[in-house]
């Protein structure tokens, strides 16, 4: 009759594999045969292993069953995501196997941030103006690295204060061929550009207020209604 060795992990004790046992070269007489048992192996057969369990061997207790949910991804009610990576850990009773749906309140909060970002993107995305006779694109970034709005404000103020006597007033813009350059403007042209940019910013902010009012209306009570509100 075949005799088997049951191999296990040297650190965790987890059952790994089965192999045939080899008789010891010197056998006791009389008595049952003895077999070579290498490290991290035993002649004791592990128990049947049900789903989400693993057989673990220890020299003191022999085989035992522990939870094995390694690789399981679950979510908690707070929407935090977790993955079990070790033996002996079971998911908590309130674990969910799919990400829980967001509440309408959470969706509204995310949508507010999305709309605010859309508004900033629209404001800083540039403005078209035909102050030079044909359409040019004027940058409207507003950051320390690209202070376009601040530069335009300074140029606009100079044009108002000094008029044509202070001309030319230089503003960077892009022509229809896609060429960006610092181009001279008259005072009237500077004022036209400034007024166009101002009107653009005012329109974007008004649109944002309208979208937020629609979002926060009492009638918006479902995820689909929240998703329908776009910039």
- pLDDT score of 1 more than 80: no
- Rounded-to-integer distance, Cα 84 and Cα 174, Å: 55
Nearest to 158 by CA among 189, 130, 202: 189
pLDDT value of residue 176: 95
- Rounded-to-integer distance, Cα 45 and Cα 18, Å: 9
> Which region among 32-36, 39-43, 225-229 has the lowest average model confidence (pLDDT)?
32-36
Q: What is the pTM of this model?
A: 0.66
pLDDT value of residue 144: 93
CB 115 within 8 A of CB 208: yes
| pLDDT confidence bin for 32, thresholds 50/70/90 | confident
| pLDDT confidence bin for 2, thresholds 50/70/90 | confident
pLDDT value of residue 25: 87
116 Cβ contact partners less than 8 Å away, ≥ 6 residues apart: 208
């Amino acid at each position: 009759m075949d005799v088997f060795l049951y191999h296990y992990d040297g650190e965790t004790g987890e059952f790994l594999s089965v192999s045939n046992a080899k008789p010891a070269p010197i056998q006791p007489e009389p008595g049952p045969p003895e077999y070579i048992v290498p490290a991290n192996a035993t002649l004791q057969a592990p128990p049947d292993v049900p789903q989400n369990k693993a057989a673990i061997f220890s020299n003191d207790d022999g085989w035992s069953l522990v939870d094995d949910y390694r690789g399981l991804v679950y979510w908690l009610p707070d929407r935090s995501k977790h993955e079990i990576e070790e033996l002996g850990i079971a998911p908590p009773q309130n674990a969910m196997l799919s990400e829980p749906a967001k509440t309408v309140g959470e969706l509204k909060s995310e949508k507010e941030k999305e709309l605010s970002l859309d508004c900033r993107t629209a404001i800083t995305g540039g403005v078209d103006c035909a102050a030079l006779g044909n359409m040019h694109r004027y940058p409207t970034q507003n950051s320390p690295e690209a202070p376009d709005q601040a530069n335009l404000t300074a140029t606009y103020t100079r044009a108002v204060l000094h008029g044509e006597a202070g001309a030319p007033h230089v503003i960077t813009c892009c022509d229809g061929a896609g060429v960006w350059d610092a181009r001279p403007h008259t005072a009237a042209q500077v004022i036209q550009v400034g007024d166009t940019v101002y009107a653009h910013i005012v329109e974007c902010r008004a649109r944002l207020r309208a979208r937020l009012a629609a979002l926060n209306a009492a009638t918006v009570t479902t995820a689909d209604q929240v998703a329908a509100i776009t910039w």
